[in-house]
Amino acid sequence: MIEFDLAAFHFLRPWWLLGIAPGVWMALRYLRRLGGSNGWSGRIEPALLEVLLEGSAQGHNRPIAALLGTVLVIASLGIAGPTFARLPQPVEQHTEALVVVLDLSLSMLVGDTPPSRIVRARHKIIDLLNLQNEGFVGLVAYAGDAHIVSPLTDDRHTVINLLNALSPEMMPVLGSRPENAIVQAHKLLANAGLSQGRILLVTDGIERISDVTRHATRDIPISILGIGTEQGAPIPLDFANQAGQVLRDDQGRPVIARLDIERLQTVAELCHGRYADLAITDADIRYLAGTPLPGPAETIAIERQFDTWADIGYWFALALLPFALFAFRRGVLVCLVLAAAPADANGWDDLWQRPDQQAFRALQQGEPERAASLLVDPRWRQWRGVANYRSDQFEDAERAFVTDPSATGHYNRGNALARQGKIDRAIQAYDQALALRPEHEDAAFNKALLERQQQSSGASQGNPPEGNPQDSATADDSPGAPQNADPSAADEPQPQDEEGERSQSDGADEPAAQLAEQDPQTAQERDELDDAMEQWLRRVPDDPGGLLRRKFQYETNQRLRRGEYQSRQDERIW
Does domain 96-297 match CATH 3.30.70.270? no
User: pLDDT at residue 469 above 60?
Assistant: no
369 touches 391 (CB < 8 A): yes
Which of the pair, 93 or 129, is modelled with greater confidence? 129
Please name the residues in contact with 30: beta carbons below 8 A apart, sequence gap of 6 or more: 65, 68, 69
Please name the residues in contact with 346: beta carbons below 8 A apart, sequence gap of 6 or more: 358
pLDDT in tens, 395-443: 988 988 888 888 888 999 999 898 888 999 999 999 998 999 888 888 8
Among the residue ranges 98-102, 139-143, 228-232, 296-300, the one predicted with the least confidence is 296-300
The CA angle 322-323-327, to the nearest 5 degrees, is 115
pLDDT (0 to 100) of residue 366: 74
Q: pLDDT-based confidence at 200, cuts 50/70/90?
A: very high
> CA torsion angle for 389, 153, 405, 445 (degrees, to 10)?
-60
Q: If DSSP codes are grouped into helix, strand and coil, which group holds residue 19?
A: helix
pLDDT (0 to 100) of residue 357: 76
Q: pLDDT-based confidence at 310, cuts 50/70/90?
A: confident
User: pLDDT at residue 128 above 60?
Assistant: yes
pLDDT in tens, 23-39: 777 767 666 665 554 55
Domain spans, the chain:
3-83+310-341, 96-297, 355-501
Please name the residues in contact with 554: beta carbons below 8 A apart, sequence gap of 6 or more: none
pLDDT (0 to 100) of residue 296: 76
pLDDT (0 to 100) of residue 341: 46
**DSSP-derived secondary structure letter, 92:** E
- For residues 290-326, one letter each, b for 16 or more C-beta atoms within 10 angstroms of the residue's C-beta and e for the rest, the string is ebebeeeeeeeeeeeeeeebbbebeebeeeeeeeebe
pLDDT (0 to 100) of residue 16: 84
User: pLDDT at residue 208 above 70?
Assistant: yes
Q: If DSSP codes are grouped into helix, strand and coil, which group holds residue 442?
A: helix
pLDDT (0 to 100) of residue 158: 86
Sheet hosting strand 275-277, strand order edge to edge: 146-153, 136-142, 97-103, 198-203, 222-226, 275-277
Q: pLDDT-based confidence at 543, cuts 50/70/90?
A: low
468 touches 460 (CB < 8 A): yes
pLDDT (0 to 100) of residue 287: 95
The Cβ of residue 127 has, within 10 Å, a number of other Cβ atoms equal to: 14
The CA angle 438-440-444, to the nearest 5 degrees, is 90
pLDDT (0 to 100) of residue 34: 57
Classify the C-alpha dihedral 544-121-182-180 as positive or negative.
Answer: negative
d(CA 38, CA 146): 96
pLDDT in tens, 315-350: 888 887 777 666 555 554 445 444 444 444 455 555
pLDDT (0 to 100) of residue 445: 85
Q: Which of 127, 502, 393, 141 is nearest to 285 (CA)?
A: 127
Q: What kind of fold does domain 355-501 have according to CATH?
A: 1.25.40
pLDDT in tens, 226-275: 999 999 999 998 776 667 788 888 888 999 999 999 999 999 999 999 99
Among the residue ranges 200-204, 357-361, 513-517, the one predicted with the least confidence is 513-517
205 touches 195 (CB < 8 A): no
User: pLDDT at residue 305 above 60?
Assistant: no
3-state helix, strand, coil in the chain (%, to 5): 50, 15, 35
Please give the backbone phi and psi of residue 22, each rounded to the nearest 5 degrees, phi first.
-60, -35
Which of the pair, 116 or 29, is modelled with greater confidence? 116
320 touches 71 (CB < 8 A): yes
User: pLDDT at residue 225 above 90?
Assistant: yes
Q: Which of 372, 449, 385 is nearest to 412 (CA)?
A: 385
pLDDT (0 to 100) of residue 331: 52
User: 572 burial class (0-12, 13-18, 19+ CB within 10 angstroms)?
Assistant: middle
- For residues 433-458, one letter each, b for 16 or more C-beta atoms within 10 angstroms of the residue's C-beta and e for the rest, the string is bbebbbbbebbbbbbebbeebbeebe
- For residues 156-193, one letter each, b for 16 or more C-beta atoms within 10 angstroms of the residue's C-beta and e for the rest, the string is beebbebbebbbbebbbbebbbbbbbbebbbbbbebbe
Q: pLDDT-based confidence at 573, cuts 50/70/90?
A: confident
Return mean pLDDT, the chain. 74
Please give the backbone phi and psi of residue 568, each rounded to the nearest 5 degrees, phi first.
-105, 145
Among residues of the chain, what percentage have pLDDT more than 90?
27
Asked whether the whole model's pTM tops 0.85, one would answer no
pLDDT (0 to 100) of residue 375: 79
pLDDT in tens, 158-168: 899 889 889 99
**50-61: average pLDDT:** 52
Q: pLDDT-based confidence at 74, cuts 50/70/90?
A: confident
Q: Parallel, antiparallel, or unpaired for β 222-226 and 233-234?
A: unpaired
Q: Parallel, antiparallel, or unpaired for β 82-83 and 10-11?
A: antiparallel
Alpha helix ranges (H) inside 365-406? 368-374, 381-390, 394-401
d(CA 414, CA 571): 42
